[in-house]
């Protein structure tokens, strides 16, 4: 098959292009997807605005995107449980299933991971912002009953489910969520579903905090305008049981550690580059520090939670752009005062 395929490709910082790529034939355990929706993630924005993040830099043109959903156009003979025309959420995670970590059930740490739109390895792993894409059948999770916009939110929701799993039981706990972008707001939803008794959310934007309240936060604090409000939770060595740090910002990390009670847990899932950790305070208060990176089994759980109505993501998708308007979409997504989650909508580009 050699049908034209429109891809959103980043060449360098602020150099985003629409390019035509061929679509390869499918294998027996694969499916051909007609993409419907794709969400712009923070890592996509780092590549678009800065050409990378931390030590990870673009070294060749790379199609972006890993939060996607689409309809099945064709399936291989060995692909079971899928049907042509079916809407599926597509996991961007392709672990090898044979390395040491995969065999231990830690597929998110696979030594030969193929994760869409990642410049970590070289050659880079091309992303899923493509109008047609061949994927492994086991990457597809049936999204019947969801819209394509909802199904494309499975990936960020899975990230949050993994993070909350890292925290341990939230039942009856007081939880602090710092950073209320899409990941922070989804984390609030998951924390509420996981039994948190009280959720405090912080950010430096009133707009995102309003969304955080709508998503289930009991209290919201703008730490730029009213930092003293968070200091109330530092009393008696700390009032917070679990801190879920979603911003990747040093001040948010430090303020949360100050609020954690002795024996509390800090889960760091925001990626903003290396940060200085207040190790003396962590040691003195015997705080457990847990990292959270990607996901694996949580992806299918995320889809089922949305299908069952346990998690409603509709309020988080604030903008939708046709893929031909990708540059405008990335510009809006880069402005937190104007957007929460921005998605690209893929249409029939062969004749457009």
pLDDT at 343 over 80: yes
The pLDDT confidence band at residue 339, using thresholds 50, 70 and 90, is very high
Cα separation values, 313 from 47, 141, 145, 153, 322, Å: 25, 17, 14, 7, 20
Give residue-wise pLDDT tens across range 15-68.
999 999 999 999 999 999 999 999 999 999 999 999 998 889 999 999 999 999
Domain 4-153+313-345: CATH superfamily is Medium-chain alcohol dehydrogenases, catalytic domain (3.90.180.10)
Domain range annotation of the chain: 4-153+313-345, 158-291
Residue pLDDT, tens place only, 62-71? 999 999 999 9
Say which residue the tokens 């029939």 belong to. 348
Inform me whether the pLDDT recorded for 349 exceeds 70: no
Residue 211 in tokens:
């969304």
Question: Tell me, what's the pLDDT at 4?
Answer: 67
- pLDDT exceeds 80 at position 352: no
248-275 pLDDT, tens digit each: 899 999 999 999 999 999 999 998 777 8
pLDDT tens by residue, 277-297: 899 999 999 999 999 999 999
pLDDT value for 347: 78
- The reply to whether 4-153+313-345 and 158-291 are identical in fold is no
Is the torsion defined by CA of 30, 34, 36, 37 positive or negative?
positive
Report the top-level CATH class of 158-291. alpha beta
172 phi-psi bin (left φ>0, alpha ψ -120 to 50, beta other): left
For 234-249, what is the mean pLDDT?
A: 96
What pLDDT does 336 receive?
87
Reported as half-sphere exposure (CB side, CA atoms, 13 A), residue 94 has a value of 19
Helix ranges (H only) for 148-249 are 148-151, 154-167, 182-193, 206-214, 228-231
């Amino acid at each position: 098959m050699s049908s034209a395929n429109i891809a959103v490709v980043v060449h360098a910082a602020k150099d985003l292009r629409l390019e035509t790529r061929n679509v390869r034939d499918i294998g027996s355990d694969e499916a051909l997807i007609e993409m419907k929706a794709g969400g712009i993630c923070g890592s996509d924005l780092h590549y678009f605005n800065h050409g990378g993040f931390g030590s990870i830099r673009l070294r060749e043109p790379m199609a972006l995107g890993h939060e996607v959903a689409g309809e099945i156009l064709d399936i291989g003979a060995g692909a079971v449980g899928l049907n042509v025309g079916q809407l599926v959420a597509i996991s961007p995670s392709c672990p090898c299933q044979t390395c040491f970590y995969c065999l231990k059930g830690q597929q998110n740490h696979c030594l030969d991971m193929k994760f869409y739109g990642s410049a970590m390895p070289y050659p880079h792993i091309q992303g899923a912002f493509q109008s047609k894409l061949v994927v492994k059948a086991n990457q597809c999770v049936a999204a019947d009953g969801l819209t394509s916009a909802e199904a494309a939110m499975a990936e960020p929701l899975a990230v949050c489910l993994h993070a909350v799993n890292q925290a341990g039981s939230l039942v009856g706990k007081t939880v602090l969520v710092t950073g209320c972008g899409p990941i922070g707001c989804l984390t609030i939803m998951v924390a509420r579903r996981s039994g948190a008794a009280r959720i405090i959310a912080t950010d430096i934007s009133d707009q995102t905090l309003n969304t955080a309240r709508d998503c289930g936060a009991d209290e919201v604090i703008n730490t730029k305008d009213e930092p003293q409000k968070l200091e109330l939770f530092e009393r008696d060595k700390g009032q917070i049981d679990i801190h879920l740090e979603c911003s990747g910002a040093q001040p948010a990390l430090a303020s949360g550690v100050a609020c954690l009670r002795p024996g509390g847990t800090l889960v760091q899932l925001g990626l903003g580059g290396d940060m200085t950790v207040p190790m003396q305070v962590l040691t003195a208060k015997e705080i457990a520090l847990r990292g959270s990176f990607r996901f694996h089994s949580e992806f299918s759980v995320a889809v089922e939670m949305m299908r069952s109505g346990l998690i409603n993501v509709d309020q988080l998708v604030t903008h939708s752009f046709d893929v031909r308007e990708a540059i405008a979409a990335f510009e809006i997504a880069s402005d937190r005062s104007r957007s929460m989650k921005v998605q690209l909508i893929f249409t029939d580009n062969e004749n457009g």
